[in-house]
Amino acid sequence: MQRYSGFGLAKHALTHNENWQRMWRNPVPKKKYDVIIVGGGGHGLATAYYLAKECGVTNVAVIEKGWLGGGNTARNTTIVRSNYLWDEAAALYEHSMKLWEGLSLDLNYNVMFSQRGVLNLGHTLQDMRDIQRRVNANRLNGIDGEVLDAQQVKEICPVLDCSPNTRYPVLGASWQPRGGVARHDAVAWGYARGADALGVDLIQQTEVVGMRIEDGQIIGVETTRGFIGAETVGCVAAGNSSVLAKMAGIKLPLESHPLQALVSEPIKPVLDTVVMSNHVHGYCSQSDKGDLVIGAGIDGYNGYGQRGSYPTIEHTLQAIVEMFPTFSRVRMNRQWGGIVDTCPDACPILSATPVKGLFFNCGWGTGGFKATPGSGNVFAWTLAKGVAHPIAAPFSIDRFVSGKLIDEHGAAGVAH
Amino acid sequence: MFHIYCPYCGEHREENEFRPKGQAHIMRPKDPESCSDEEWADYLFFRDNPKGIHHEMWVHATGCRKFFNMTRDTVSYEILEVYKMGEQPKITAASRVVGGEK
Amino acid sequence: MSQANRLSQGGQIDRSKQINFTFNGLRYTGYEGDTLASALLANGVDIVNRSFKYSRPRGIVASNAAEPNAIVQLGSTEATQVPNVRATQQALYEGLSARSTNGWPNVNNDAMGLVGKLGGPMMGPGFYYKTFMAPASMWMTYEKFIRKAAGLGRAPNENDPDIYDHYNRHCDLLIIGAGPAGLAAALTAANSGARVIICDEQESFGGSLLETADPLNGKPASEWVSQVVEQLAANNDVLMLPRTTANGYHDHNFVTLHERRTEHLADKAPIAHQARSRMHHIRAKQVILATGAQERPVVYANNDVPGNMICSAVSAYIRRYAVVPGQKLVVTTGNDSGYQAALDWQAAGREVVAIVDCRANPDGDLVKQARQKGIRIIAGSAVFEAKGSKRVTGARVAAVDLNAFTLKGDVEDLGCDTIASSGGFSPVVHLAAHTGARPVWNEEAIGFVPGKVKGVIPVGGVDAIYPLNEVLQSGHQAAVQAIESCGYTLTPLELPKATGRVEGKAAALFQVPHLKSTSRAPKQFVDLQNDVTAAGIELATREGFESIEHVKRYTALGFGTDQGKLGNINGMAITARLLGRTIPETGTTVFRPNYTGITFGAIAGRHAGALFDPERYTAMHQWHLQRGAKFEDVGQWKRPWYFPIGNETMHEAVARECRAVREQVGILDASTLGKIDIQGKDSRDFLARVYTNKWAQLGLNKCRYGLMCKDDGMVMDDGVTTCLGDNHFLMTTTTGGAAGILEWLELWHQTEWPELEVYFNSVTDHWATMTITGPNARDLLSEITDIDLAKDSFKFMECREGMVANVPARVYRISFTGELTYEINVQANYAMHVWKALFEHEETYGLTPYGTETMHVLRAEKGFIIVGQDTDGSVTPEDLGMQWCVGYDKPFSWIGKRALSRPDTRRKDRKQLVGLLPSDPKVVLEEGAQIVFDPKQQVPMKMKGHVTSSYYSPTLGQGFALALVMGGAERMGETVFMPMADGTVYEAKIVSPIFLDPKGERQNV
């Protein structure tokens, strides 16, 4: 793997940038692998990377029906935080957070992880009770967090309207200083490059169309380029998880919904932190290119169209203008949507299935991007050992049968 | 924004008069006590979530407040039919040759 | 030198109306009808901005929405600042003030330009991914500098003085684009009686007809346009919307149109309460897409120096605005259309140095015309490099072999100050792609045309139909198809005739090779706004990015405010060539709204500020206001929170209110709680299915507390339901749950149990509810009612109808405070009268108004839960110790029952509701405090529950709380600990959640 550095940039500039190497190969798929990961988004690529790097399993293929990172990884609003309520979720997201903190150096790829803090606003007395509860739990779980009053929120974010005259005045917020944003494409590319360098085959433009199961054991996947064998298969396909599950005769407790997002045109720096409000339904941060990146809640109907309905955009911008009145004359550039696989308890599924060797990593709903490193890491472990990583164990699909759900709708921060 | 025909009001109305209410034709087991935990979980949580033809419930929330069913393509968002609660769909994944863009 | 480039005649400007404006602090003049761009060009302004990455000087390239460079900060006051206005789309008005968005200290002498020149080679696409990694702690410092350099214009730092509105409209036919195809369609449809809406993003209708040299019926095309506009204006079934951009196409023919109503007049709406702009929400039966085609520039070295423009823009400036943006012109083209720019230039009296045509034997009508006019044509060649830095000084030309991608023969240097290029035309397909239909490659037209969308008919240029007669026909035919599908019959009409023109076949001209390889040649720009070069695209493919999506993301091609209108197709063609694929194989992006940027305020509309969300008031609201109540938001309701007297703090007010209730009588406005009227012979049966408890034996005029679960066994809502008749019940719900519970009841009835005869109606707003509670409640009420209130006549948990203050009322003896309570319900419009009637006896009984805070304290003293505060969706009735409320043996398996016997709901160590008494009586625990059994353990600590409700009780004389604690029911008397953020650790004892009057005697008196 060609190492990157500032010095390298200068060196390559001298040779007209003609000697940069490919970031990853475009290999012909082998007949068989030890592990196949279906889905080449952030989570799938991270899984492949950690399989190779930490679990010593390199005979791995990632099979992606489009282009790497082209699904939800390319479409999310890039927020990273770990301030979830329940112990199990907190452990998973904090595990991820710790990996974020060393990720650029580990991958030798700048994922532009910027820990500029995340505010989750409270607008009612019950909001503030929930915030207190969550931040106290964070604190006792070793996760950074503070409860702020309206004045403190204003000091951190001067452009936010914290006056008592708004329809739902800001009463306070939870503040996670270590939270922030990262560059989504870079995460996919960094993991892809790293995995490829360790021997993982990244197979793009190849769609899995069936699964071959014999005597209750998976033996491989049927693809648009033929059959590829493996006795361990991990499905990491976000909104398309139910489609894959159906091939294996399995049903999941998922619904795929549109999740919309939008950006403004690039403007000079005006917002230095991430602001999220459940109550008025909107969240906002400003990218390094200057665009305001804004997210909405999901659209209520099932949708695989990577788009949602216009009223959602309207309501979201009403919320944004309500929170940031000085943004009213800033222009929206573009909107888009992803397909989020939502789970009844707003927590993911990291699980074995009734088919031996077949595992699913899905159900991240609106909270997947922040978990990319952690998800890949514990899922890799699970695939390598055949048994759930301790952090992944509570997220087994069995919890829907036993009733041991982990309800993170409040902390998920995005309207369901 | 969808343009939805309410089979009770007898006209097309805007999507924001309605609320989507999830997969249709899910029958609550008549004898819950004899359901296993798996069966109960299946009823409560497990869904088909198809990429393509979906039969789903909608309610005309700021209109007549009636629930009805809809057959819709979850990829193109084309509404293929609406039918009253208690009726069966005419268009199903099996009956329709699915073509066109993904 | 005032307006040196302005022609003395021609154009559609009004020379009698001079306009003064400022650009970068300098004053200029223009005319009405100018855009800011045409006025700047008229005044000979070369450099309008600096590019965002390399800080290179940039000039105006286009004359419409496709402009990538002339992005300005508009506004003469702070509050009216608008960032990123496209000068080509901004009408000039008196006093307009604009600045370049980049360039320091100014746009002509930019300090960053040096950085761009020297650092440029190091700043290829994605360079920031390859560096700034170490040390990790420095990233955020590097980032500060990156962020400072980013962004174009700036947001204002004062609130927006303008308002924006929305309009919902329906029509038979929506026509997007009022060029020849759109106008032909509108005429056809309107003539036949259809309801038509036609919009165009430009200041006036006409589209390409405003700039074309082609006559219609032998006369200038603009004359036909005027006639049509007049005709349409006289038709009541036609709505014409100029200055209106169709920015988004949505499912089932829903289209958003953004109408700029005052942006051509001033910084902000000139009249008070006038909307600055308006979003029209259109639901159309049929849509005709007549958005035309956009010319592309050619990619060659230094094609970004000011003076490089696209041919159609040159023609537009000359013909429409009477501005010639230079002295000496070279045209480089691969099609006939490019020749028009040279003909217009020459007709305006300026010098055309040459037309360089990459085709070996160009021979169309325009080519012949150019030859006749003596213009030099250099065939089989192309401009491969522009000379100059702040303005073009020359063009380097050579013969070119596009297939082999190399130059041949000798180089000729042509002196000029303007290079106009035409690489071809790209249909403006965007709207047709917004709902996911991928554009389709048309090999003949060398462009993408719209994919099929139900209900949308593309016509004219957007469908790659270019000859004017065919364009008019296609608009007409589409309108015929559209109106007939709406049930109208065509009233025939005659279309105007254009003189047909013979066009030579266009060449596929995208990038011109250079003498040096792409990676070594001077920069060849593909996306001007984001400084994306051909070398950058090459680098992307070299590094393994092979999908066009990857290339775009890696290089930022098409991600600017112009959304790649000039660059995307060139970028795709270059990528295709590098990967050895065809353009359709390389793929195309699906476009998404908005076609051009729309402000947040315009999209939000009037639902901002006071209109963001409705405020719901009860019938007694005015009284609360006058009494000085502080309010709490509960859903959309404004509920009194507490009623401070004088300088009371909240703590003091609440303590006084609590004492008043326990010792005398208090009154609470409880109108906001949901009320659902349930009737029908199967009502009782239905209640038994949706509630956990039993209803079979509830007699007439009796009340019962009910608990509602979801089918997963978790508590969802609660409230008291009263039997008003055999087939008549009144259900109450929580304030926040009202609408949801009504829908829940309907869901079960309509979808699961339609055989039950039961009807539901929301009566929340019909009845106002005033709750009087305390030892004096009976005496107070007896002053104004005829109902027999004697203890044995009107028992606890019963309901009576009668007159209260001469108004028909229902009075319920239910209690949320644990004191003697009467809940008086009257028709809402009588409520204030009744409320005031009670207050006539204020002194006598010590009647004290109280709010939600006091209500919380009093109910907590009695261990009554609040759903959503003491429960969070993961709590069962058994967790709450409410087994008494669960009818385990009811015949029907009610909602929630089955789930209560799953493994997790059977666990012994589930979190259970308990009371907590702090060891230190002065302490009021924090709501949300986490509970541990062992305060000495290290972080991460094992948490065992949390404090759900916590107050100071004046009655108990100390703080107390409700909490959910693991296995709490078995832990009475144990001490638990709450470690706080400041290091303090509080202690409390687990006790029963009922702190007062556990036998419930006080409410029974």
Residue A11 pLDDT: 87
B97: pLDDT strictly greater than 90? no
How near does any CA of chain C get to the CA of A42, in Å?
Answer: 14
Assigned domain for C203 exists: yes
Clarify whether residues C800 and C840 are in a common domain.
yes
Residue B12's domain spans which residues? 3-26+38-84
Clarify whether residues C750 and C788 are in a common domain.
no
Q: What is the mean pLDDT of chain A?
A: 96
Clarify whether residues C182 and C286 are in a common domain.
yes
**Chain A CB within 8 Å of residue B1 CB:** yes
Please state the φ and ψ torsions of residue C837, each to the nearest 5 degrees. -60, -40
Assigned domain for B97 exists: no
Tell me what the mean pLDDT of segment B86-93 comes to.
96
Assigned domain for B90 exists: no
Mutate to test the interface with C, among A328, A343, A409 (most CBs of C within 10 A): A328
Clarify whether residues C286 and C190 are in a common domain.
yes
The answer to whether C94 touches C20, Cβ cutoff 8 Å, is: yes
In sequence order, what are the residues at sequence separation of 6 or more whose Cβ sits closer than 8 angstroms to the Cβ of residue C838?
C667, C770, C772, C780, C784, C805, C847
**Chain C CB within 8 Å of residue A152 CB:** no
CATH value at residue C936: 2.40.30.110
Give per-residue pLDDT as tens, A84-130.
999 999 999 999 999 999 999 999 999 999 999 999 999 999 999 99
The answer to whether C110 touches C57, Cβ cutoff 8 Å, is: yes
Question: Coil, strand, or helix at residue B56?
Answer: strand
Give per-residue pLDDT as tens, C211-254.
999 999 999 999 999 999 999 999 999 999 999 999 999 999 99
Show which of C713, C732, C762 is a domain's final residue. Answer: C762
List strand residue ranges (DSSP E) for C583-692, in order: 598-599, 630-634, 637-642, 665-669, 674-679
Tell me what the mean pLDDT of segment A158-173 comes to.
96
Question: What sign does the CA torsion over A128, A129, A130, A136 have?
Answer: positive
C205: pLDDT strictly greater than 90? yes
Residues of B in contact with A305 (CB under 8 A): 74-77
Show which of C737, C762, C787 is a domain's final residue. Answer: C762
The answer to whether C76 touches C267, Cβ cutoff 8 Å, is: yes
C766: pLDDT strictly greater than 50? yes
Question: Coil, strand, or helix at residue C564?
Answer: coil
Inter-axis angle of helices C180-191 and C468-485, to 10 degrees?
40
With cut-offs at 50, 70 and 90, classify the pLDDT of residue B100: very low
Clarify whether residues C790 and C831 are in a common domain.
yes
Reference C357, options C332, C324, C327; nearest CA is C332
Clarify whether residues C776 and C834 are in a common domain.
yes
Clarify whether residues C806 and C745 are in a common domain.
no
With cut-offs at 50, 70 and 90, classify the pLDDT of residue A414: low
Give per-residue pLDDT as tens, C96-107.
999 999 887 788
Instruction: Tell me which residues of chain B, numbers 24 to 53, contact chain C at a CB-CB cutoff of 8 Å.
Output: 27-28, 31-33, 35, 37, 40, 43-44
Residue C924's domain spans which residues? 904-1003
CB atoms within 10 A of CB C215: 16
Tell me what the mean pLDDT of segment B20-47 comes to.
97
Assigned domain for B101 exists: no
Residue B102 pLDDT: 36
Q: Do B74 and A256 touch (CB under 8 A)?
A: yes
Per the rule left: phi > 0, alpha: psi between -120 and 50, beta: everything else, C881 is left
Residues of B in contact with C438 (CB under 8 A): 101
Percent of chain C with pLDDT over 70: 100
Number of independent structural domains in chain B: 1
Assigned domain for B13 exists: yes
Residue A416 pLDDT: 44
- The ipTM estimated for the assembled molecules is 0.96
**Chain A CB within 8 Å of residue C872 CB:** yes
Structure tokens at C875: 């709590």
Tell me what the mean pLDDT of segment A404-412 comes to.
86
Length of chain A: 416
CA–chain centroid gap for A291, Å, is 20
Clarify whether residues C791 and C748 are in a common domain.
no
C1: pLDDT strictly greater than 70? no
Residue C647 pLDDT: 96
Clarify whether residues C748 and C817 are in a common domain.
no
Assigned domain for B91 exists: no
From the list A256, A305, A311, which residue is nearest B49 (CB)? A256
Show which of C812, C829, C850 is a domain's final residue. Answer: C850
How near does any CA of chain C get to the CA of A349, in Å?
Answer: 18
Instruction: Tell me which residues of chain C, numbers 941 to 970, contact chain A at a CB-CB cutoff of 8 Å.
Output: 941, 943, 946, 948
Measured CA to CA, the distance from residue C970 to residue C967 in angstroms comes to 6
Clarify whether residues C174 and C261 are in a common domain.
yes
Q: Do A305 and B74 touch (CB under 8 A)?
A: yes
Q: Do B45 and A300 touch (CB under 8 A)?
A: no
Clarify whether residues C708 and C798 are in a common domain.
no
Instruction: Tell me which residues of chain A, numbers 329 to 388, contact chain C at a CB-CB cutoff of 8 Å.
Output: 329-336
| DSSP3 helix / strand / coil % (chain A, rounded to 5) | 35, 25, 40
C120: pLDDT strictly greater than 80? no
CATH value at residue C780: 3.30.1360.120
Number of independent structural domains in chain C: 4
Closest chain B CA to residue A241: B49
**Chain A CB within 8 Å of residue C469 CB:** no
Assigned domain for B96 exists: no
CATH value at residue B48: 3.30.2270.10
How near does any CA of chain B get to the CA of C483, in Å?
Answer: 19
How near does any CA of chain B get to the CA of A29, in Å?
Answer: 25
Give per-residue pLDDT as tens, C808-830.
999 999 999 999 999 999 999 99
